[in-house]
Amino acid sequence: MPLLLPESLPCIPVLKSEGFDVSDTVSSSLPAEVHPLRLLLLNLMPQKEEAEMEYYRMLSHHDLWVEITLVKMSGLTYKTTPQAYVDTYYKDIADIMAGGECYDGLIITGAPVEQMPFEDVRYWKQLLDIYSWMQVHVNAILHICWGAQAALYGLFGIPKYDLREKMFGIFEQKIEISSLPIFKGFSNTFFMPHSRHTEIRRSDMSSCKALEIVASSPVAGVSVVQTKDWRQLFVTGHLEYMPGRLAFEYRRDLKKHLPIHIPYNYFENDDPNGAIIDSWRNDARRFYKNWLENYVNNHSLSHVKP
């Protein structure tokens, strides 16, 4: 079924050329009996168009009608994405919250502010307001990378810790609760890209009865956490990443003379000029498909038990 995107979004022809079933919310003629799942994408990434594309590609492997609304923080201006683009295609989160409507799903992305104290982030108070609002108005929430760390701290007081060097590469994850529908079709392990300077720790989770760790890595640490009512998932890596994303980040940091190592388990023979080992995308597609079908499309999550 098509992914319904904002009217005249520039990337729609590109996605169609790649074989994705996408359309915009105006040109689509929906059958009267169809009521799309309504999904908010709160995009905190700097290059917004590139980040969007990664999510569109991940959210297109299912048999549901899904309408995506792009959402931005209130009162911010942008340097790495044209302001006109944001103003045209994004809705203000304050307007969304004031509207009083309910939504089926919400994705809150990562953001390049992970080494700052949470309280120093310029939109921290807005995020706390969103956390309060989403408890009542959103069925299922997916928090990604810094977005996961921020929500775990803002909602449950789970701290983040600086790493001595960047966790950067593709790391094997072990599934700890295999019966969960988010892991339908998975084996016991899967791979996930990580690109972060901070971590959360298992030891801080033990006293929080609302949370459970559902996947982790012996190298990268805690990778997927969920609330026990299944409504919220916290993913510390980037399953949505396209194959070339870590190569781009690696070369960008080299050019800026930032401390960076070759991404782990990413280039064949650790050769930056070699082929990229695409080890995660099949399971990434399953993860997003399972989330849409079993979490976003499940309107009684609080009553569901594993």
Contact between 197 and 116 under an 8 Å Cβ cutoff? The reply is no
86 CB contacts (<8 Å, ≥6 apart)?
A: 48, 72, 78
Whole-number Å distance between alpha carbons of 97 and 72: 12
Distance CA 56, CA 61 (A): 10
Catalytic residue among 62, 143, 194, 238, which?
Answer: 238
Catalytic residue among 52, 54, 67, 240: 240
Annotation says 240 is catalytic: yes
Q: Cα(302)–Cα(281) distance, rounded to whole angstroms?
A: 30
Contact 137/101 with Cβ under 8 angstroms?
A: yes
DSSP 50-119: HHHHHHHHHTTSSSS-EEEEEEE-TT---SSS-HHHHHHH-EEHHHHHHHT--EEEEEE---S-TTS-GG
Residue (of 203, 138, 216) closest to 177 by Cα position: 216
Q: Is 208 a catalytic residue?
A: no
| CB within 8 Å of 121: residues ≥ 6 apart | 111, 113, 127, 150
Q: Which of 67, 143, 145, 194 is catalytic?
A: 145
Active site residues: 145, 238, 240
